[in-house]
Amino acid sequence: MSIVYKMEPKQLEQKVKTLRFRWNNATKQYVATYPDAALGLDRTQNQRSFQSIVGAYKDINLLQATLKGLLASSGNYIKTQDVRINFIKTKYNDEKLNLETALGNNEAGKPMKIDKYNENSKSYILSSYYTIGILSISYFIYKQLKQ
C-alpha cells in the first residue's frame, strides 16, 4: 500500500475504485465457491477467496485509518493556525487604528497630511454648498410667502 498523504486526488480515487473492485470480486468468488466448500467437495477455492476478502478488508481498514489520522492531524493544524490568524488580525486592526488616529490628529507623514487636507477641504466645500443651497431655497420660499 502506498503512502496516502502523497497521493493526488485522482490517485486516491483510483485506489478506492481498485479496493472496491477487489472487495466485490472477492465476495462474489466466496459466495460462488461456498456451496462446494459446505458440501466438502472443494475447499481450496473457498479458502483462497476468503483470504482475498481478508486481504481486501485489511487494505480498506488501513486506508480508512490513514485517512482518519490525516484528517485529525489536519484539523489540529488548522486549529493551531486559527490562533496565529487571530493574532495577525488583532495586530492589523491595532495598527490600522493607530494609523487612523494619527491621520485624524494630523500627525501622519506628508502624503497622509495632504490626504487629510484634501478630505477636510472636500467637507468644507460640501458644507458651504449645502448652506448656500438651504439659504437660497429659504429666500425663494420667503419671497413666495410674501407675495
Q: Is-contact 52 23, C-beta < 8 A? A: no
What is the three-class DSSP state of 99? helix
1 CB-near residues (< 8 Å, 6+ apart): 59, 62, 63
- Per-residue pLDDT band at 6 (split at 50, 70, 90): low
Please state which of the ranges 49-63, 109-123, 126-140 shows the lowest mean pLDDT.
109-123
**Domain extents for the chain?**
9-80
**DSSP structural state of residue 20:** H
- Per-residue pLDDT band at 93 (split at 50, 70, 90): confident
pTM of the shown model: 0.50
**pLDDT value of position 43:** 87
pLDDT tens digits along 74-84: 877 777 777 88
Q: Is the pLDDT of residue 73 over 80?
A: yes
Other CB atoms within 10 A of residue 36 CB? 14
Q: Which of 49, 53, 14 is nearest to 35 (CA)?
A: 49
Q: Which of 38, 80, 13 is nearest to 30 (CA)?
A: 38
What sign results for the dihedral spanned by CA atoms 139, 140, 141, 142? Answer: positive
77 to 84, 87, 100: CA distances (angstroms) = 11, 16, 34
Q: Is the pLDDT of residue 39 over 90?
A: no
What sign results for the dihedral spanned by CA atoms 27, 28, 34, 36? Answer: negative
**pLDDT value of position 98:** 80
Q: Is-contact 2 8, C-beta < 8 A? A: no
